[in-house]
Amino acid sequence: MINNPLVIGVDYGTDSVRSVVVDAVNGKELAFSIYYYPRWKQNKFCNPIKSQFRQHPKDYLEGLGHTIKECLFKIGESAASNVKAISIDTTGSTPIAVNKEGTPLSLLPEFEENPNAMFVLWKDHTSVNEASEINEHAKKFDINYLKYVGGIYSSEWYWSKLLHILRVDEKVRAACYSWVEHCDWIPFVLTGGKHADEIKRGVCSAGHKALFAEEFGGMPPNEFFKTLDSLLDGFRDRTVKTAFSADVSAGYLCEEWAAKLGLSTNVLIGVGAFDAHMGAVGGEIEPYYLSKVMGTSTCDMLVAPVEEVGDILVKGICGQVPGSIIPGMLGFEAGQSAFGDIYAWFKNVLAWPTDELLSYSKLIDSEMAYALAEEVKDNIIIRLSQKASEIEVTEHSELALDWLNGRRTPDANQLLKGAILELNLGSDAPAIFRALVEATCFGAKKIVDRFNEQEIKVKGLIGLGGVAKKSPFIMQMMADVMDMPIRIHKSEQTCALGAAMFAATVAGIYPKVEDAMKAMGQGFDTEYHPNKEKVAIYAKRYLKYKEAGTFIESNL
DSSP states of 371-434 as a string?
Answer: HHHHHHHHHHHHHHHHHHTT----TTS-EEE--BTBB-SSS-BTT---EEES--TT--HHHHHH
Core vs surface per residue 297-331: b (16+ CB within 10 A) or e? bbbbbbbbeeeebeeeebebbbbbbbbbbbbebbb
Mean of the pLDDT values across residues 171-182?
A: 98
Q: How far apart are CA 139 and CA 134, in angstroms?
A: 9
**Residue-level length of the chain:** 556
Q: What is the pLDDT of residues 219-233, one digit of tens each?
A: 999 999 999 999 999
Mean of the pLDDT values across residues 33-46?
A: 95
pLDDT for res 77? 83
Q: What is the pLDDT of residues 123-176, one digit of tens each?
A: 999 999 999 999 999 999 999 999 999 999 999 999 999 999 999 999 999 999
pLDDT exceeds 80 at position 256: yes
User: What SS3 state is found at 466?
Assistant: helix
383 falls in which pLDDT band (50, 70, 90)?
Answer: very high
Q: What is the pLDDT of residues 449-507, one digit of tens each?
A: 999 999 999 999 999 988 899 999 999 999 999 999 999 999 889 999 999 999 999 99
pLDDT for res 540? 97
Q: Are 314 and 454 in contact (CB under 8 A)?
A: yes
359 falls in which pLDDT band (50, 70, 90)?
Answer: confident
89 falls in which pLDDT band (50, 70, 90)?
Answer: very high
Q: Are 276 and 335 in contact (CB under 8 A)?
A: yes
Structural domains for the chain: 6-283+492-522 (3.30.420.40), 340-489+525-555 (3.30.420.40)
User: What SS3 state is found at 80?
Assistant: helix
- In 3D space, the residue among 215, 246, 46 whose CA is nearest the CA of residue 147 turns out to be 215
**Bigger pLDDT: 465 vs 33:** 33
Mean of the per-residue pLDDT values of the chain: 95
Q: What is the pLDDT of residues 513-534, one digit of tens each?
A: 999 999 999 999 999 999 999 9
pTM score, whole prediction = 0.90
User: What SS3 state is found at 31?
Assistant: strand
Beta bridge partners of 487: 462, 527
3 falls in which pLDDT band (50, 70, 90)?
Answer: confident
- In 3D space, the residue among 420, 415, 388, 429 whose CA is nearest the CA of residue 401 turns out to be 420
Q: Are 552 and 401 in contact (CB under 8 A)?
A: yes
pLDDT for res 361? 85
* 421: phi then psi, degrees, rounded to nearest 5: -120, 175
Q: Are 506 and 273 in contact (CB under 8 A)?
A: no
Mean of the pLDDT values across residues 271-290?
A: 96
Burial class of residue 282 in the structure, from the number of CB atoms within 10 Å of its CB (0-12 exposed, 13-18 middle, 19+ buried): buried
pLDDT for res 1? 60
Q: How far apart are CA 403 and CA 446, in angstroms?
A: 13
Q: How far apart are CA 521 and CA 497, in angstroms?
A: 8
